[in-house]
């Protein structure tokens, strides 16, 4: 638990203006969750005793089987990380030319295409959803388009059915980046079985982590077989190379972490949900602030607490609020600033891309994520919310003293 000081009662109490930070230690977005240490160490010792550290070991095989069963999908291929998983999925589905992708996503989504000589065509998100706008997708299809890469943000599914209809009608491959969406559902069906394949990240900052890792899920047996070869240098058997491949294998230590995390999954999601409900109660309805809510009829991991700040109504902009919170040791995060299209090399390749991305350009100046996870206690969430409400209540005065462009 993070120790804290008394609540703020006047502007001069703000740490950014010389006051004492409300928390004595930094509270981060995405601080790693740690499962049962003893159980993890038992598995680690077993790995050391077996001396089978990598190359499709028993823990990797067990993790793949359990993940496939949990997600209700035929095949799960564990990978060393989510980015390599995305690159292998793109390569295995033989995408070329242009692939339509949101700019409002983590840069790895675009890089996984560009790394393989495929042009990411940045598409705007629909108002209010943060997800690809199917209408805009349709407008961007050219003779060079071979695929659509949708991204499920915040554990919420993008417009799956609309994208599936477009992909089928236009003969395009549909993949999904599901890095945020492990243990989440869409219309009662677990995310993982949509499109040609879906890609997960199990990075340390994800609520379910394998230290570093990822996975691809699919119901296509031939595709799964191909991706298994590709993650192991293209080997189909001893001295039998069938494809151009790379080293995308997950190691046994990471798989052991994943299996131990699965044992704790319910408790982790429960804590995330508890924190989410406190944030929801405390922040919903504040002027100039939109709290991104989850459909609780669906399964959710509640990993991300996301808000939008409308400066015109709130009286203060997102960046100023982030700066103020950082001074209080609440390390809120801007997502996904400034947008992939405004990062290199895309900013140089496509200098006018922003003209087609009005909703994205607005979102990247408004969206922020707040800390949650097992390490963040409910009473600490209350204090974070108190801080935000205090800032909004004194926004005009604070804005005069805390300048952020």
| Domain spans of the chain, in order of start | 11-31+264-332+371-401, 37-263
pLDDT 10s digits, 215-244:
999 999 999 999 999 999 999 998 999 999
- Digit-coded pLDDT (tens) for 309-332: 999 999 999 999 999 999 999 999
| Chain segment 17-44, per-residue pLDDT in tens | 999 999 999 999 999 999 999 999 999 9
Over residues 240-265, the mean pLDDT reads 97
Is the pTM value of this prediction over 0.75?
A: yes
Percent of the chain with pLDDT over 70: 98
Alpha helices for 190-285 (secondary structure H): 221-230, 252-263, 265-283
Q: What is the pLDDT of residue 6?
A: 66
User: Which fold would CATH assign to domain 37-263?
Assistant: 3.40.640
pLDDT surpasses 50 at 343: yes
pLDDT for position 41 = 98
Pick from 346, 334, 335, 307: nearest CA to 151 = 335
- Topology, domain 11-31+264-332+371-401: 3.90.1150
Q: Is 1's pLDDT higher than 60?
A: no
What is the pLDDT, as a whole number, of residue 76?
98
Q: Is the pLDDT of residue 405 over 60?
A: no
Of 104, 54, 109, 33, nearest to 373 by C-alpha is: 33
pLDDT at 3 over 60: no
Q: pLDDT-based confidence at 401, cuts 50/70/90?
A: confident
For range 264-281, the mean pLDDT: 97
Q: Look up residue 363 and give its two tokens.
A: 């979102």
Cα(329)–Cα(130) distance, integer angstroms? 28
Burial group, residue 15, by CB count within 10 angstroms (0-12, 13-18, 19+): buried
User: Is the pLDDT confidence value at 337 over 70?
Assistant: yes
Q: Does the pLDDT at position 5 exceed 80? A: no
């Amino acid at each position: 638990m993070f120790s804290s000081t008394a609540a703020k009662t006047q502007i001069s109490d703000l740490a950014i203006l010389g006051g004492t930070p409300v928390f004595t230690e930094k509270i981060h977005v995405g601080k790693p969750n740690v499962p049962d240490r003893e159980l993890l160490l038992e598995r680690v010792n077993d790995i050391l005793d077996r001396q089978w550290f990598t190359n499709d070991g028993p823990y990797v095989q067990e993790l793949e089987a359990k993940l496939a069963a949990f997600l209700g999908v035929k095949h799960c291929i564990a990978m060393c990380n989510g980015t390599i998983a995305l690159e292998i999925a793109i390569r295995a589905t033989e995408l070329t030319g242009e692939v339509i992708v949101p700019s409002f996503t983590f840069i790895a989504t675009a890089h996984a295409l560009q790394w393989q000589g495929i042009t990411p065509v940045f598409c705007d998100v629909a108002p209010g959803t943060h997800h690809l706008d199917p209408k805009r997708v349709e407008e961007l299809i050219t003779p060079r388009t071979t695929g659509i890469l949708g991204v499920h943000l915040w554990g919420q599914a993008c417009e799956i059915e609309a994208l599936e209809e477009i992909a089928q009608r236009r003969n395009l491959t549909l993949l999904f980046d599901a890095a945020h969406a492990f243990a989440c559902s869409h219309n009662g069906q677990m995310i993982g079985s949509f499109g040609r394949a879906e890609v997960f990240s199990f990075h340390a900052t994800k609520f379910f982590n394998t230290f570093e890792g990822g996975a691809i899920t699919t119901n296509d047996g031939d595709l799964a077989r191909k991706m298994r070869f590709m993650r192991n240098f293209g080997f189909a058997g001893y001295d039998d190379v069938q494809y151009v491949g790379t080293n995308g294998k997950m190691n046994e230590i990471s798989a052991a972490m994943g299996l131990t995390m699965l044992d704790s999954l319910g408790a982790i999601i429960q804590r995330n949900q508890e924190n989410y409900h406190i944030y929801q109660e405390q922040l919903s309805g504040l002027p100039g602030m939109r709290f991104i809510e989850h459909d609780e009829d669906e399964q959710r991991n509640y990993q991300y607490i996301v808000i939008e700040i409308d400066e015109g109504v709130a009286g203060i902009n997102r960046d100023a609020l982030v700066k103020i919170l950082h001074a209080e040791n609440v390390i809120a995060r801007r997502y996904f600033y400034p947008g992939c299209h405004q990062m290199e090399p895309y900013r140089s390749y496509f200098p006018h891309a922003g003209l087609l991305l009005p909703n994205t350009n607005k979102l990247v100046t408004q969206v922020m994520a707040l800390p949650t996870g097992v390490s963040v206690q409910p009473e600490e969430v209350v204090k974070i919310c108190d801080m935000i409400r205090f800032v909004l209540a004194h926004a005009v005065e604070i804005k005069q003293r805390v300048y952020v462009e």
